[in-house]
Chain A
């Protein structure tokens, strides 16, 4: 494998990927646990290894606004945020996707106040699932690195032109060091050439951007946005294929299945907690239990077909997520349930496990217990906190 193997934290892997993606403009505001991403980027700009305009903005709202402005002249742009900061960007997130600006953002998944808490859960990004961004969830630093490079390729694809967010679990992933293969810059340049777009201010052919569209036309723009997001699924798969050919690391598309083939009981989850589930699956498998793991890698576009296909044989499915829509159920569960409902063939038992809020530990024993509950689900509430 070409390139260099480096010992990097999740955040440092993201920064290393951004350096190779060569955004022309970076605008960011610090927030724990995202900070080391933008610190590393500032160092790279300082030492000349990254030729970007780096805007020290005074807020997250301005960070994304500035990225929109830069994207509106055709520049490749990057920002990073987390939690409260992501929510402060919320207005601009809808703005960026509605304007079809292919900005890439890294989000360090973190709990949302109140109570204040800096540790990882996924309520920040999942509460913005409807903002029109592609949402990817990485499990480890290498995947975060690779997803970040791919995110630019997908977002900028002419059939997509939609901003993309790569999520890393706060601390669990952002601050954990792993060996990461960092490819040669020339290989990344070949995978991710400079992009051009007609969606920009052009001195030769002036345009009006970000305009108003009244009732007669507004919905057409929204429908096109929807179609582009739907189209992004295939573009993601193609980008992964192209990436695999060039860099030798293959990815399985919008979901990753682990020992699901003949599984009766499957835990569906996303992010770094999959790393806790996988060895439990192995252990239970070794005692003859037919269990599996399905990891959602992309929440938007949502892998409804992949989910149904992978879980067609399962009788009990538990969705484990670090999120809750208060008074109802987890957002991931709602989406999974809807995917089954569309086919009219839901698994006999479909349960929602809420855990990890505000960084609450999810242990291998917890996972074993969840598989045990899936074995005897009768009488259980649909939604339980673990």
Chain B
């Protein structure tokens, strides 16, 4: 899998013996999302997208994915709504839409 995802089954340790010996833990282990950080969400008009991958390249979160059919999609669990993708999109096909509107 190219993107880590949140482990829904994980329960934090409650007893001493459940903790690791040393500060060591499996890599890429996510228990929280960042979706609550966002006030605006980027929306890609995939019909007009030319698939130049600039947004994919420049996203600090890496939340834009290449889906199997070649279209780009956004992992809204971890998108913080910074707006870089919309700003850098040459054809202007990514719009920032108000959350909850």
Contact = CB atoms under 8 A, between A and B. Distances in A.
> Do A's and B's CB atoms come within 8 Å in the complex?
yes
A131 to B, nearest CB: 16
Contact of B26 (A101, A199, A205): A205
Contact of A221 (B12, B23, B27): B23
B24 A209 contact: yes
A224 interface: yes
A10 interface: no
A220 B13 contact: yes
Interface stretch (A211-219, A249-257, A327-335, A374-382): A211-219
A206 B24 contact: no
A217 B13 contact: yes
A208 interface: yes
A210 interface: yes
A341 interface: no
Interface string B1-21: 000000000001100100111
A208 B30 CA distance: 12
B6 to A, nearest CB: 16
A100 B25 CA distance: 13
Contacts of A199: 20-22, 24
Contacts of A271: none
B26 A220 contact: no
A217 B19 contact: yes
A76 to B, nearest CB: 16
A188 B93 CA distance: 69
B22 A208 contact: no
Interface string A221-265: 101100110000000000000000000000000000000000000
Interface in B4-60: 12-13, 16, 19-29
Interface residues of A, number: 25
Contacts of A211: 23, 25
Contacts of A208: 24-27, 29
A199 B16 CA distance: 17
A98 interface: yes
Highest count of chain B CB atoms <10 Å: which of A98, A209, A220, A227:
A220
B13 A207 contact: no
A228 B21 CA distance: 9
Nearest to A211: B23
A165 interface: no
Highest count of chain A CB atoms <10 Å: which of B21, B23, B29:
B23
Contacts of B27: 206-208
B14 to A, nearest CB: 9
Interface of B: 12-13, 16, 19-29
Given A208-B26, A211-B25, A217-B12, 15 more contacts: A98-B23, A99-B22, A100-B21, A198-B21, A199-B22, A199-B24, A206-B26, A208-B24, A208-B29, A209-B23, A213-B23, A220-B19, A224-B19, A224-B21, A227-B16
